[in-house]
Chains A and B, each alone.
Chain A
């Protein structure tokens, strides 16, 4: 079974703090993704990565950065947290580089981190 874990289930931070959200997958997946989920807006892609030290912007990268130093770990960084970054953050992974050949493949999600920025 694929397992995707996230470092915290709940996190409370203050405006201006630097925040690290960690995600680890144990199935040697190539691709990793960070989404945020907000009521009425659904899930939106922040950043993704196809390989170690590689990153690509998603739909809403502003205010975020990422790091992938090891294949199994993908970190989301809020350089200076703001109240509008209060959200549920979901990490996902999938097996093959580039998401696989046309046809795609299953993405596996972690349990989520609910972040509150005060």
Chain B
């Protein structure tokens, strides 16, 4: 069964720092991965989707990479801002059914 691990569980950085969030998975037979952002008490906002045939995707200050051979994905946030403070979740499509398998998230706090 696919398991998804996100490290660290929480991270606090000063404003302006570049940072990396990590996500690892146990089964390389994934279809794609998706990174989400969740603000406290709110739903999930999709940030980036990487297809299994791709290595990375970029959107503004965000860059997500996927390495199936090592079972890892990273989310890189450049020049972090207080508004980036949220919980970041990675999720994998583990099969043809379309449902997502989630990590437990990394709670990011960016201090002004």
Contact = CB atoms under 8 A, between A and B. Distances in A.
Contacts, number: 78
B81 interface: no
Interface residues of B, number: 26
A48 B97 contact: yes
Contacts of B51: 103-104
B42 interface: yes
B104 interface: yes
Given A42-B104, A107-B46, A102 B98 contact: no
Given A40-B104, A103-B51, A114-B41, A98 B89 contact: no
Contact of B104 (A41, A45, A94): A41
A48 to B, nearest CB: 6
Given A33-B99, A48-B99, A58-B99, A106 B46 contact: yes
B43 A90 contact: yes
A98 to B, nearest CB: 6
Given A99-B93, A103-B31, A104-B93, A45 B44 contact: no
A110 B41 CA distance: 12
A48 B98 contact: yes
A88 to B, nearest CB: 8
A103 B51 CA distance: 5
Most interface-central of A50, A102, A104, A105 (chain B CB within 10 A) = A104
Given A108-B46, A109-B44, A112-B42, A102 B100 contact: no
B52 A102 contact: yes
Nearest to B42: A111
A75 interface: no
A104 B98 contact: yes
Contacts of A104: 31-32, 34, 49, 51, 93, 98
A56 interface: yes
12 contacts: A33-B98, A42-B102, A42-B105, A43-B89, A43-B91, A99-B99, A102-B31, A103-B32, A104-B31, A104-B93, A107-B46, A107-B98
